[in-house]
Amino acid sequence: MSSATTAIGLQDRKRVSYTGALMGLVMRDTRVLGREIGPFIARIIMQPLLFLFVFTFLMPRIGQANDVGGPNFATILLPGLMAVAIMFCGIASVALPLSQEFGITREIDDRVMCPLPVWAVAAEKVGFSALQCILSALLVLPLAIWVPATPVFFQVTSWPLFILTLILSSLLAGALGLAIGANVKPQQIGLVFSIIVVPVTFLGCVYYPWEVLSHLRWLQIAVLVNPIVYMSEGLRAALTPGVPHMPWPAIILAMLVSLAILWGIGIRGFLRNVIS
């Protein structure tokens, strides 16, 4: 047998080994998620449910609809709530577990012992988180149909754009969770929600389109550093094309750039914590 044939055989066996190890991690995470499916669903729908109930059901019933943007507010709010559900799911499924695994117990060591490159372990976490984020976003849609007192008008005018936006938004949320979980000390995770997560939510064009910030040009430019803006605007372009939104090519490009930056920050922190 030639050396070239031997090398190819070794590469094939290594590829099969990597695939088996990766699937093992996915099956392990799936099993854990299956045992906690009730708390998982409750966690991801609670915030969208409360926002929809208060702003699109309660306030119109008590005559306060005009104070929150009139009867079309529910339509404007839907893509933003999906973006929020994706973001919180990404942080909850990556950042919070990492803060525990990097703690005193060092549970992360069990994962990195599998026959995979260390970066692939982080990639599996982000990828599995993205699947949960997609589910969390889709669960918001039936809530938007049942809860609001006024009709919510949405339709998928371009399935490729909707699917691409949903996937990129979910990966972006997972990368954000990785960046937070790998670079913030476990005892400071709670502080992150107060000084980072809440501000980026309120300034993430969740409750209003980016275009209406033109009255405050400095703020309209400043929020462009917020990745949640592109998640909200992308879902707005895909689901509610009648609502003002950014051009979709600019949204996709910005999401790809944000994903690359957050992945770079997250993987460096992950490698530093694991290898040290």
Residue 227's pLDDT is 92
Q: How confident is the model at residue 9 (pLDDT cuts 50, 70, 90)?
A: very low
Are 228 and 200 a contacting pair, CB within 8 Å?
Answer: yes
Residue 42's pLDDT is 76
What's the mean pLDDT in 74-86? 88
What's the mean pLDDT in 170-192? 86
More confident residue, 59 or 206: 206
Answer yes or no: is pLDDT of 79 > 80: yes
What's the mean pLDDT in 157-177? 93
More confident residue, 100 or 263: 263
What's the mean pLDDT in 102-121? 72
Residue 96's pLDDT is 81
Closest CA to 158 of 241, 99, 226, 76: 241
What token pair was written down for 205? 């064009």
Question: In the chain, at which residue ranges do the beta strands (DSSP E only) sit?
Answer: none
CB-based burial label for 118 (10 Å; 0-12, 13-18, 19+): middle
What token pair was written down for 50? 């409360």
Residue 260's pLDDT is 96
Element (H, E) at 222: helix 217-222
81-95 pLDDT tens trace:
899 999 988 988 888
Domain locations along the chain:
10-275
Residue 178's pLDDT is 92
Residue 274's pLDDT is 79
12-53 pLDDT tens trace:
445 546 676 667 666 776 777 677 777 777 777 777 777 778
